[in-house]
């Protein structure tokens, strides 16, 4: 067992984890942050995406022990109190979700996508959005409205 210390959604946390404990398990089991979902165990579906030090990663294939000293943001930490993040608001406005299971990972990926594009001065067109969603699978929406939501959020965050 290893003691890990990290900041999760702005709160300092620590926990005892075994060497094989995944970040997704640590978030879900130790911290009860069940908004991070596990859909495939193989880094393919992206339901587990969280931000570590501001970058999107797949928490189902990241060891908790590696995360010592990092700052993690999960879907639960994205909104500012009752104020939704623009990406969250856009997913609702554009019906970018149905069953909701892939949604936390989709939103975390989309935030990262928009912020990276903004930082590099790129405009996110549909083709780029679709290409950058490669690592997130949605079985419900057919992606149409997810793309609309990300386009709208990118405009709102510009």
Nearer to another protein, 4 or 17 (CB): 17
Nearer to another protein, 4 or 129 (CB): 129
Binding site for another protein (CB under 8 A): 18, 20, 28, 33-42, 44-45, 47, 74-76, 78-79, 84, 88, 91-93, 95, 97-104, 107, 126-127, 129-131, 133-134, 136-147
Nearer to another protein, 4 or 106 (CB): 106
3, 83, 134, 153 from 116: Cα distances, Å: 32, 22, 16, 13
Instruction: Name 142's Cβ contacts closer than 8 Å, sequence gap at least 6.
Output: none
CB of 39 to another protein, least distance (A): 5
Residue 6 φ/ψ region, left for φ over 0, alpha for ψ in the -120 to 50 degree band, beta for the rest: beta
């Amino acid at each position: 067992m290893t003691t890990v210390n990290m900041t999760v959604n702005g709160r300092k946390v620590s926990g005892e984890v075994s060497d094989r404990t995944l970040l997704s398990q640590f978030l879900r089991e130790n911290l009860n942050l069940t908004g991070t979902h596990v859909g495939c165990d193989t880094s393919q579906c992206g339901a587990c995406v969280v931000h570590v030090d501001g970058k999107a990663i797949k928490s189902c294939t990241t060891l908790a022990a590696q995360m010592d000293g990092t700052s993690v943001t999960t879907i639960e930490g994205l909104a500012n109190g009752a104020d939704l993040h623009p990406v969250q608001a856009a997913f609702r406005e554009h019906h970018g979700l149905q069953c909701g299971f892939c949604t936390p990972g989709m939103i975390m990926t989309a935030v990262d996508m928009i912020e990276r594009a903004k930082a590099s001065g790129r405009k996110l067109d549909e083709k780029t959005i679709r290409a950058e969603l490669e690592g997130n699978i949605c079985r419900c929406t057919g992606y149409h409205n997810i793309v609309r939501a990300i386009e709208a959020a990118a405009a709102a965050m510009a």
